[in-house]
Chain A
């Protein structure tokens, strides 16, 4: 199998993958999951909570709910389906039997899953702050908005790479992804010493704390610079994207045999 990568082909595969992520009930479920923070802040606004409370709630919900739960779940569901659903429904044959290379397919599916996830996650990160603004809260500092967008982007890039890899190598990718998100990521954070550094959440939270100096985002957790936090997430992304592309070149794409 060759190493050729042709960007237009990658983008065509990405577009197909992106579109396929918005099919069926899954789209509504992901949309609802992504809207929880915004709905909570909206409820506070309607209940007459003060502007500062609404703003603090928006930022706290981002760190505690969006980053720790919503981002991982949305990316997991979108990215795992890219290979797994295609293999099990036998639609991958339409791509893998053509002249597009396996590396191009893997990169396209990665970009498609990142793009589809961001459609849900960017509003999930920003909408609560905007709604808090209706309560009279001053416009959030640019640093907060930028930090939210950066965290969403970094988390999506890294998680999508890992979950795409899981979707390629195992039929139990969804279960393993959930175990990773809610056991590994959460438990490792609680361990003493350097163990938390084995969690992606560590770097995402550290990035938020390092970038913003007031409100719930402030107060450096780790002392690691935001640049290093970003590099850590990008290294995870690069490693798993490369591993997925490499593996996919040697993987059979037909579903489990039903007949010869």
Chain B
């Protein structure tokens, strides 16, 4: 494997509890979403990648180095932890500067980088306030500032949008995309699936310490061929449309969830999406809306964990 992060049967135990249970996945370049419910093993993976925890079995490499290692390569990694614990007695700018100095930057360089990172996350106005008075959203931003301040090649962001207000979320999502465009690699964990869906198609799904699936979201959806795919349509004549498509071989069920609405379950959605436009043109059928609730991450994850 030659990914940014390579895990092979990575296992971490907390006494009787398995934090990671033979987790195998490769995280490639760009943005990868690490998706899983609370307790799935996301934070354990991040703590292993940042050498706070040690593997009990398997292999875990980051940027070509064993994760349980220290030294210069760690400067290529930025880490935004999930927890909100900070050195509360410090001021915002002092916090970022101190961590840069721990990383070996000179006083002047650390101050310059800290100011720049704090500006990037939109905290310049609060940089002189003590961290103990920071809100959760501000704490999340200052954690991000210290993670990006040393210009790392790889960013490990554990639930980075927790506690951030909607406007802030949009800003941070844009920031992540900009970082990826400038050549950084990001691993972003979340249990709020639509956020990751807005950020990337590349995902690793984790549950109970195991990687359930990885790769392109839509390809993962294709893996779930045992489950029919739901397509919802809005049309003035749902019963007429239903009569026409009922004979299609891949259609396994049709529902009428409400007035003017039709819900179709198809074993092969690609075939459905090919056949539907032909029917619409040929029969001059009006369809006012079409959506596929199964295409979002929430549905994929629900199927995989059922």
Hey, which bits of chain A sit against chain B, CB under 8 A? 1-2, 4, 6, 8-9, 12-13, 15-16, 19-20, 23, 89-102, 250, 252-254, 256-257, 259-260
Contact = CB atoms under 8 A, between A and B. Distances in A.
B74 A99 contact: yes
A89 B81 CA distance: 13
A99 B151 CA distance: 13
Contacts of A2: 70-71
A257 B82 CA distance: 13
Interface of A is mostly: loop
Contact of B47 (A9, A19, A254): A254
B193 interface: no
Given A89-B85, A94-B146, A260 B74 contact: no
Given A4-B71, A93-B52, A93-B81, 20 more contacts: A1-B68, A1-B69, A2-B70, A8-B104, A9-B101, A9-B102, A9-B104, A19-B90, A90-B83, A94-B87, A96-B50, A97-B51, A99-B73, A99-B74, A99-B75, A101-B70, A259-B38, A259-B39, A260-B19, A260-B44
Nearest to A2: B71
B42 interface: yes
Contacts of B71: 2, 4, 99, 101
Contacts, number: 103
Most buried by A among B38, B42, B101: B101
B69 A97 contact: no
Nearest to A90: B85
Contacts of B72: 99
B269 interface: no
Contacts of B42: 260
A252 B54 contact: yes
A93 B209 CA distance: 21
Contacts of B53: 252, 254
Contact of B17 (A23, A90, A257): A257
A20 B88 CA distance: 9
B81 A90 contact: yes
Contacts of A94: 81, 86-87, 99, 146
B271 to A, nearest CB: 40
Nearest to A95: B102
A99 B103 contact: yes
Contacts of A6: 104
Contacts of A91: 85-87
B248 interface: no
A1 B65 CA distance: 12
Given A19-B89, A91-B85, A98 B103 contact: yes
Contacts of B14: 256-257, 260
Most buried by B among A15, A91, A102: A91
B10 to A, nearest CB: 13
Contact of A252 (B20, B39, B40, B52): B52
A260 B52 contact: no
